[in-house]
Structure 1
Amino acid sequence: MDPVASLGKLDILPIELLDIIVSQCCDIQTVVTSLSLVNRCARVILHSSFIYQRLRCHADRALVAMLRTKVASYFTLADVDSILCGDPYCTRSGDFGPPLWLPECCRCCMSCLRGAPDLSGLPISRHAATKALGISKSALARLPTYESPYPCLSFRHARAAAVKIAGGEAQFMARISVSPWRQAAYDAFIAQTRPWDNVARYMVAAPLPYFDKRFGKVDRGIHCLGCQRVVVAASMVNCVYHREDIRRRDTVYVARDFIHHI
């Protein structure tokens, strides 16, 4: 059944421009929860978007997670599609990154998700950021915020904003050290817990496979059973296994890279 209601002034635009507006100009929250509810014609435009169709087919869990954590207000469908079909590797370690780190809309591997050494992805509340980084709430309002389970933002984003406001890394650290209570709050946040023990990390990550446009295939990654058995065998005989063994056990490979691991 063809839609009866129109898009008003947008009706004069060709379908190609409407597709660009839907996928590249509007954030996901607006497109899914507002535009699609205008009328049937708007829903037809959304569902006819090739990028939206691909994300619904292969990245539906990531989209749901972004909507539930309210990160969807900061990214477009094209942003997620570029991650789905682009570089499949973690932006930090270079390993295959099947999880999508929601606050920054980028791939990360399980090792970095558990404990990135620089704590760059560690969630921080607005109150803690204001107290520890000396950044105003108005400046934090411009940064991506997500619900997990309370409003949080990425520590890297908050720290980068504080460094920019201070005028540089040295000036930022000087502002931290000049105030004893701010230095104490900053140190307390960094040392509050080991990053791999912070449950909030896992609450803002969603599975995202890699879609190979050239072959039209989805790659969800391959685990090495041999590396898993090394850790299991060591634990059964009470042997000490190294952190590198844990990293290998948790590493996921795309099909084309797995042969090099073997």
Structure 2
Amino acid sequence: MASLVYTGVANHFTVCHLFGILCVSKCSSCANFAAFIWLPECKRVCVPCVRKDPAYMPMTVADATIAFGLGKKMLETIPIVKTLPGEYGLWTSTRRRQMLLLSEQWAREAALIVHGGEDGLSAYLRKASTKSTMIAYQHRMARRNALGCANKTLDNISRYLATAFMPVLLQRATGEVSEGVFYTGCRIASEGRTLSGQQKELLIDRREQSYSPSCFLLHFRECLAAQQIWKERSRSTQ
């Protein structure tokens, strides 16, 4: 919960909402076990979805101002994550400079209020289309979202800057929590050098996916690498 306070978004969510998120174990997008929250919307998310789901690619306040014509007053109604210095991402990138990040979806919804609906927003976009700042923004987005290109926001560091660890409260009475269980087998399998890019990408997702205690054994049944490790360790103890 401290991450919500330190990043400046806590005041946008009620205590009931925060407690509800604490008790939820499933990712908002894929329903797998999730031990993280996406701060701009304060909802559960798993690492595989953070890595590549378009919904979890935040935008900067500067871009929201250009793209949607949002003023200071309206921006104050949207949770804005003030990023914290530290190490982020699957491959550990150190970040010291603060960024101001928010949900693109929530920024768009705010823009509809400001401009009076879809027609008003479209009118704003037409009027702003000749401005140098809008042209530069649209060029950046066009390059990023070009058809036929790989997902250029995959593992973008902004995704991780807007995400925080939050264990799941399993038992309210006892305070028992779960941080999720990771498979050593998935980690070893993802390091194979003979894998295609698509195969490796799938295994990275599996490596970063955590499991609830109840789902741990279910995954073991389909993870060949984990089964091999189990067999080798069983033989070594005989």
Answer whether contact 1:133 1:186 (CA < 8 A) is retained.
no
Correspondence for 1:225 among 179, 184, 208: 184
Structure 2 counterpart of 1:123, which letter?
A: P
Change (3 A) 1:125 1:214: closer
Partner of 1:131: 66
Partner of 2:107: 158
Give the TM-score of the pair, scaled to structure 2. 0.69
Q: Secondary structure, in 3 states, of the residue corresponding to 1:206?
A: strand
Note the aligned Cα RMSD (angstroms).
2.7
Q: Which has the higher helix share?
A: 1
Percent sequence identity over matched residues? 29
* Higher-RCO chain (CA-CA 8 Å, sequence separation at least 6): 2
Partner of 2:211: 253
Cα distance in 1 for residues equivalent to 2:154 and 2:173? 36
Q: Secondary structure, in 3 states, of the residue corresponding to 1:252?
A: coil
TM-fit CA distance, 1:219: 1.6
Change (3 A) 1:208 1:131: same
Structure 2 counterpart of 1:219, which letter?
A: S
Change (3 A) 1:188 1:163: farther
Cα deviation, 1:201-250, whole Å, max 9, x if unaligned, reads 22232211111126733221111222222211x23xx4324222222221
Q: How many residues align?
A: 194
1:114 equivalent in alignment to 2:51: yes
TM-fit CA distance, 1:129: 0.8
TM-fit CA distance, 1:109: 0.6
1:99 equivalent in alignment to 2:36: yes
TM-fit CA distance, 1:163: 3.6
Cα distance in 2 for residues equivalent to 1:113 and 1:251? 11
Answer whether contact 1:146 1:153 (CA < 8 A) is retained.
yes
- Trace 1:168-183 onto structure 2 (pairs within 5 A): 172=121, 175-176=124-125, 179-181=129-131, 182=134
- Trace 1:202-221 onto structure 2 (pairs within 5 A): 202-213=160-171, 216=174, 217-221=176-180
Change (3 A) 1:184 1:108: same
Correspondence for 2:156 among 198, 203, 225: 198
**After TM superposition, which residue ranges in structure 1, 4 or more long, deviate above 3 angstroms?**
163-178, 180-184, 189-193
Cα distance in 2 for residues equivalent to 1:190 and 1:136? 24
Cα distance in 2 for residues equivalent to 1:215 and 1:190? 51
TM-fit CA distance, 1:185: 1.8
Q: Secondary structure, in 3 states, of the residue corresponding to 1:152?
A: strand
TM-fit CA distance, 1:259: 2.9
- Trace 1:2-17 onto structure 2 (pairs within 5 A): none
TM-fit CA distance, 1:113: 1.4
Structure 2 counterpart of 1:259, which letter?
A: L
Cα distance in 1 for residues equivalent to 2:122 and 2:33? 34
Answer whether contact 1:74 1:144 (CA < 8 A) is retained.
yes
Answer whether contact 2:48 2:208 (CA < 8 A) is retained.
yes
Query: Mind listing any 5+ residue stretches in structure 1 that lack a counterpart?
Result: 1-62
Change (3 A) 1:71 1:167: same
Structure 2 counterpart of 1:126, which letter?
A: V
Answer whether contact 1:132 1:189 (CA < 8 A) is retained.
no
Structure 2 counterpart of 1:106, which letter?
A: K
Cα distance in 2 for residues equivalent to 1:248 and 1:177? 44
Give the TM-score of the pair, scaled to structure 1. 0.64
